[in-house]
């Protein structure tokens, strides 16, 4: 049976990646979009060949063709929209950060579970062939006991995205909720470990306004003793992205991997020397959509669940609190 999608939010990310990914998944189609601006919604629908533009969320949720919603509005709206979708019996793929507070994320998880619908968080990086390979190498003991990890996720925020993320405090802006939250999920995935405490320093280099951070460096201790460092920024055009994992018997260098595109390489460095480890690149969002629609059919779980989204959010919130208070902060899950 075909899964009909309603887009909650006429967003850039849906335009750039997710509409195509839905259409690439067998038996999935985009049937409607909701925008708070009916004119913009109608133009967005026409530009993307979406049959219907709804002027209200309830109208989209009452549309019988809609079986699942993709929530990609500003971060402050995710909570209310996901709870409403769950109550209307719709499966939900929600953008990160799942919400602005752990309590809200828990309510979203509970609402979806009470309604018997799938809730997934769109941490697409888990589906990168490179990150899956790093996870596999770590699990196989290729670097021995893992001791440290580093994530390099600083870049230049493209001009068309230099909007609410940089200037509207109500929306959950800033580099930590935008980028560090992805790093945390990727680290949880590759290390198969849970963050327990965080220390962070933020920077305001002048791209973001007020006290919104446009860069951050964070150190995270995991429950298996690994200490990880993340570097996130909107302000540095020539930085390369990477993940490194350093263990007692080897190091992994995954280069150009903190990106939406299916690119990058994984290098393993041990006593045997350096080897490039082969990966089979595939579109990250298409894989995410495929696993989501399989979960809706009752086959397995989505790539990244609501609980995963709650955990990455909890660590990002600990980083924000650490930066504000100058203290080490424990990750609080509820
Ligand atoms: P956008 O700014 O494109 O969209 C957010 C909202 O802003 C939309 O819902 C829309 O409201 C409104 N909007 C968009 N364009 C305009 C415009 N030209 N004029 C007025 N309003 C506009 O945000 P993103 O797509 O960058 O991010 C959306 C969500 O997706 C965020 O939660 C973000 O964290 C996440 N994200 C995830 C990524 C991933 O790879 N997982 C990558 C990028 C973002 P309306 O619906 O009312 O029209």
* pLDDT tens track for 54-97: 999 999 999 999 999 999 999 999 999 999 999 999 999 999 99
3-state secondary structure 179-191: HHHHHHHHHHHHH
Ligand 1 contact via 40 beta carbon (within 6 Å)? yes
For the question of whether the overall pTM of this predicted structure is more than 0.95, the answer is: yes
What tens digit of pLDDT does each residue of 207-218 get? Answer: 999 999 999 999
CB of 11 shorter than 6 A to ligand 1: yes
Atom of ligand 1 nearest to the CA of 178: 34
The answer to whether the CB of 72 is under 6 A from ligand 1 is yes
What are the Cα distances from residue 261, in Å, to 17, 19, 136, 264, 281?
10, 15, 20, 9, 9
Ligand 1 centroid to residue 95 C-alpha, Å:
10
Q: How far apart, in Å, are the Cα atoms of 126 and each of 132, 133, 136?
A: 7, 10, 12
Give the pLDDT of residue 334: 87
CA 7 to the chain's CA centroid: 17
Q: How far is the CA of 239 from the centre of ligand 1 (A)?
A: 24
- Answer yes or no: are the C-beta atoms of 128 and 280 closer than 8 Å: no
CB 127 within 8 A of CB 101: no
Residue of 7, 8, 9 to mutate, ligand 1, most atoms within 8 A of C-beta: 9
User: Ligand 1 centroid vs 318 CA: distance in angstroms?
Assistant: 24
Q: What is the mean pLDDT of each run of 10 residues along the chain (334 residues)?
A: 96 98 96 97 98 98 98 98 98 98 98 98 98 98 98 98 98 98 98 98 97 98 98 98 98 98 98 97 97 97 98 98 98 95
Give pLDDT, residue 169: 96
Q: Is 96 in the pocket of ligand 1 (CB under 6 A)?
A: yes
Given a contact cutoff of 8 angstroms between Cβ atoms, the answer to whether 322 and 197 are in contact is no
């Amino acid at each position: 049976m075909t899964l009909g999608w309603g887009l909650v939010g006429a967003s850039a990310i849906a335009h750039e990646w997710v509409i195509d990914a839905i259409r690439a998944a067998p038996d999935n189609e985009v049937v409607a979009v909701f925008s708070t601006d009916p004119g913009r919604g109608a133009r967005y629908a026409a530009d993307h060949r979406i049959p219907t533009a709804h002027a209200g969320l309830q109208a989209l949720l009452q549309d019988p063709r809609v079986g699942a919603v993709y929530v990609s509005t500003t971060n402050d709206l995710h909570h209310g929209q996901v709870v409403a979708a769950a109550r209307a019996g719709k499966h939900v793929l929600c953008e990160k950060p799942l919400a602005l507070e752990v309590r809200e994320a828990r309510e979203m998880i509970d609402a979806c579970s009470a309604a018997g619908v799938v809730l997934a968080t769109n941490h697409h990086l888990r589906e990168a062939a490179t990150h899956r390979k790093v996870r596999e190498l770590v699990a196989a003991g290729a670097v021995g006991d893992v001791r440290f990890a580093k994530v390099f996720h600083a870049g230049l925020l493209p001009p068309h995205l230099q909007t609410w993320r940089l200037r509207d405090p109500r929306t959950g802006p800033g580099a930590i909720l935008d980028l560090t939250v992805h790093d945390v999920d990727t680290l949880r995935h590759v290390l198969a470990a849970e963050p327990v405490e965080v220390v962070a320093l933020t920077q305001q280099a002048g791209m973001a306004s007020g006290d919104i951070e446009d860069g951050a460096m964070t150190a995270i201790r995991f429950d298996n003793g690994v200490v990880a460092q993340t570097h996130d920024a909107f302000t540095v055009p020539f930085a390369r992205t990477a993940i490194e994992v350093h263990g007692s018997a080897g190091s992994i260098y995954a280069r150009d991997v903190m990106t939406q595109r299916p690119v990058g390489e994984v290098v393993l460095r041990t006593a045997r020397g350096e080897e490039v480890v082969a990966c089979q690149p595939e579109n990250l969002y298409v894989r995410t959509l495929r696993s989501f629609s399989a979960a809706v059919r009752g086959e397995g779980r989505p790539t990244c669940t609501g609980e995963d989204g709650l955990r990455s959010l909890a660590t990002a919130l600990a980083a924000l609190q650490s930066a504000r208070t100058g203290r080490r902060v424990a990750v609080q899950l509820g």
